[in-house]
Structures are given as structure tokens and as C-alpha cells.
Structure 1
Amino acid sequence: MNIIIVDDDTLVTEALKTILESSGKVTVTATGSDGTDAVRLYKEFKPDILLTDIQMKEMSGLDATKEILSFDNTAKILLLTTFLDDEYIVTALKYGAKGYILKQDYTAIVPALEAVYSGQSVFGTEIISKLPELLNKKHEFDYSDYDINERELEVIKEIADGHSNKEIAADLYLSEGTVRNYLSSILDKLGLRDRTQLAIFYYKHI
């Protein structure tokens, strides 16, 4: 099988190339050092499998995976990383990667490539053990990303319940003026126009 290796550590790239080609089952047609190389080399060589690192400087392996699969949904991409990160695993699954294995497990790489080549999806044993938890996990919207504090979130929930400023003030022991200030700040942070949009936003992100 013909593969491309992309990793920002040239020593890792060369080591992988040597190990894989010594198996007699793999030909490394090209190597790259970041996600932009992965996209460019994939278009140029159309490999059977792209073997790519995740964390790289210019473009990540995940971003490259997403871009490649946007123009070739048959692409077989195997992600190779040192990071057993929940977010990476979920994103890899979402984007359609065929596998996610750890670099440390060198003996598993050739079998993983063979499995992906035959049409299977491959995840290392450490990752498989985490999948049930990750796939059943409810990912809550993180308001802190928008600099929304706990008090403001309480106001959002009150508005979503249809309460007026006067009712919110009574429930949260605030003045109506303070509630209006909170509402104005919340709308500005979330880029919304009015309390109706805010209520819709809240229920869409439960």
C-alpha cells in the first residue's frame, strides 16, 4: 500500500518511514511536516492512506482531515498522536478519520494501516476503552467562552423561562436597573438583538 506520512518532527517521520517500509507491506510515497503539506501531498499523490500527526504548527492534522474529506470523502486518514485527548477523539470521529492510534504503540501501526486499507476503522485499545463514555457524554455549551459569568447565566435562564425584568429582580434579589444592565451586557457578549433571541439561543444550546 502507498502512504504519505506527515509529522512536524522529522526524526519521527524518518523513523516511521524506516519501520513501515521494513515491513515489506508499505511504500512511503511522500512525507510532510504540517497540515498544509498533508492537503497538498494528498492531492498530488492520492495515497491509499494518509498517516498524519495531529498537533502541528501551521495546520493541524484534524484540520487537514476535515479539508481533505471535504473534497474526497473516500480518503483514508489515520491519525497518529501522543495525545489521548477526549476532544481530539470526538473531533476525529466527527470529521470521518478512519483511525486514531498512539505513536508510542509502534507495533500496532502496520496492522492498523492494513485494517484501514481493507476498509475498517481502527482505534487503539486505550481509545476504544474511552469511546462508550465519550459517545454517550452530553457536551454542554460553555458560556465562559463568551465571558458569561454565573450571575449572568442565572439571568439568561430567567429570561428563557419568560420572566420579566421585575420578576427576575425579585427572584435574584437585584434591582430592575441591575437586571437591565446584565441583559444589555449579555446581549452584547453573545451578539444578540433582544431577549427573544436570547431565549432561543439558550434553548438551542441546552
Structure 2
Amino acid sequence: MKKTASNKSGYNVILVCSDRLLRQKIIHDINLSGKYNLLSCAENGFALLHQFGKYGDQADIVISDLFLEGINGIEALQVIRQHSANIQFMVYSALFQKDLYPIMKKIDVSMYCPKNELSICNGLESLSRNSGTTDIQLFDWEEYMYLEPLYKKNSQTNLSGLEIKIIEAISNGSSNKEIATDQHLSLRTIESNISQLLKKLSLRHRVDIVRFAYENGVCATSCSIFRSGKCETDSLFRRKND
């Protein structure tokens, strides 16, 4: 059952985010909008359950990362759902988690979006306009949904949307810090994703990522070539005939 929040003074929100920089940006956007009341913030699953104990009867929406320290976000939300049938869940993650979709559906998640400031804030706006929807809204995952079938040659090259963006950024000469800023993620998160990406592709160095991108046409696949008919990036591995 989905709850349509009474709009007496806006939607009451509990935010859960372990990434300090991203959390600060979301808080700023929420406060700036004037449409939401931020009841509390939590950094991990335990803190979320504690904050729900204090503010659960007032909360309309819980925004949470699927993966948190202590207790995972998805596990904490399962506990919360046992005590509240009406509160709406908006969840996010850096990479699309298809395996968790059945659990999200079971606990009546309202919206699932990528882990970045723009997607989360725009997703919250969309959720507040469509609070009566009964299905999970997959917000801003279109790129992943479109690209996934193109990288099914083998498990090694089954790249996520974030991984493709990292490959593009590296091939354009961006530093880890610049990539983190552009993707609204922490430097540690980007460094971890690059390390995992190197292992996934059996590569050793960043320059090998550029070579992989050129040989596999990742740039042409992930940019606007399919929409405009030509490659519009200045990537080092763009197709020569575009």
C-alpha cells in the first residue's frame, strides 16, 4: 500500500547516506526546495533503525543506500516495513542491483535510482508527484537498461553504466578526483570501482583501460551516437570515421 503524504507542510523525509559529500549535497537540495521536511539523517543501517524509532510515525519517505555499514540498507528497510505499511522507500546504489529487485518488490520499494545527487533529488521530486504508483519506479536507469545487452559477450565485459562512465572519463584523461566530482561520489568509491574494473577486465593499468575502450568501441556505444547518428565526444578512443 502506497501512502500519499498529506501536503500540509511538505513531505517528511529520513535520509540515509554514508557518503559525507553526497549527503551534504542532498541535504542542501532538500532544504532548498522547500517541499520537504528533513526529519533526520543517518550514516548506517543501525542509525537508520534508531532514527526510525524516533521519527517513524512522522516520516513519509525514507531515502536509503542499498548498501550500508552495520546493517545493509535493504535489511534495515525490511525491518522498518514490518512496523510501517505506509511509509515510502526510495533506494539508490552506485551499480544496478538486479538480484535485489525481488526483495525491493516484496518490501514495496517505491523508487530505485542511481547513486548521484541529480538522480536522487530528481527522483524524489518524481516520487512526490506519483506517490500512488504501486510498481517500483526505476528512475534514471535507462542508460544501464539500454547498454546491458550490448555487453553480454562474456561476464568479463558485462559493464554497468557507472563502469562505462569511468572508462570514458579515464580515456579522456580525468583523474580519480575529477571522476568522483563528476559522478557525485566519494574518491574512495571511485578508486574501489576502478580497482574492481581492472580485475573484471583482467587489466593491470589505467592505460590498459583506454586500450580496452578503443578495441571494444565502448565510447561509441555509450555516448550520443545512437541518438544523433554521430559521435560527439572528444574521447581519445572515438571512432576515426565518426
TM-score category, normalised to shorter length: 0.5 to 0.7
Query: Residues 21-60 of structure 1: matches in 2 within 5 Å?
Result: 21-46=31-56, 47-60=59-72
In 2: Cα distance, 1:86 partner to 1:16 partner? 25
TM-score, with length taken from structure 1: 0.56
Cα pair 1:77 1:97 within 8 Å, conserved = yes
- What SS does the corresponding residue of 1:56 show, helix, strand or coil? coil
Is residue 70 of structure 1 aligned with residue 71 of structure 2?
no
In 1: Cα distance, 2:143 partner to 2:53 partner? 31
Matching residue within 118, 141, 156 for 1:126: 141
Q: Which structure carries more relative contact order (alpha carbon 8 Å, separation 6+)? A: 2
Aligned to 1:86: 98
Is residue 114 of structure 1 aligned with residue 128 of structure 2?
yes
Name the stretch that deviates more: 98-107 or 24-33: 98-107
CA drift of 1:128 comes to: 10
Flag the structure with higher helix content.
1
Identity %: 16
Q: Structure 2 counterpart of 1:42, which letter?
A: F
In 2: Cα distance, 1:91 partner to 1:127 partner? 21
* Unaligned stretches of 5+ residues in structure 1: 131-206
CA drift of 1:65 comes to: 1.0
1:101-149 deviations in Å (ceiling 9; x for gaps): 1123245233234146x3334221426985xxxxxxxxxxxxxxxxxxx
* Unaligned stretches of 5+ residues in structure 2: 1-10, 146-242
In 1: Cα distance, 2:144 partner to 2:138 partner? 10
How many residues are aligned here? 129
Cα pair 2:42 2:48 within 8 Å, conserved = yes
Structure with higher Rg: it is: 1
In 2: Cα distance, 1:106 partner to 1:7 partner? 11
CA drift of 1:49 comes to: 0.5
